[in-house]
Amino acid sequence: MSTTETNFHLGNDSQPWVQVAEGMRRQVLAYDPQMMLVRVAFEKGGIGALHHHVHTQITYVQSGVFKAVVGDETRVMQAGDVFYAPSNVWHSVECLEAGVLVDTFSPMREDFI
- Distance separating alpha carbons of residues 101 and 90, to the nearest angstrom: 18
Q: What are phi and psi of 111, to 5 degrees?
A: -70, -10
> pLDDT tens, position by position, for the chain (113 residues)?
444 455 554 556 678 999 999 999 999 999 999 999 999 999 999 999 999 999 999 999 999 999 999 999 999 999 999 999 999 999 999 999 999 999 999 999 999 98
List the one residue out of 55, 59, 60, 66 whose CA is nearest residue 89.
55
Q: Which fold has domain 18-108?
A: Jelly Rolls (2.60.120)
pTM of the model: 0.87
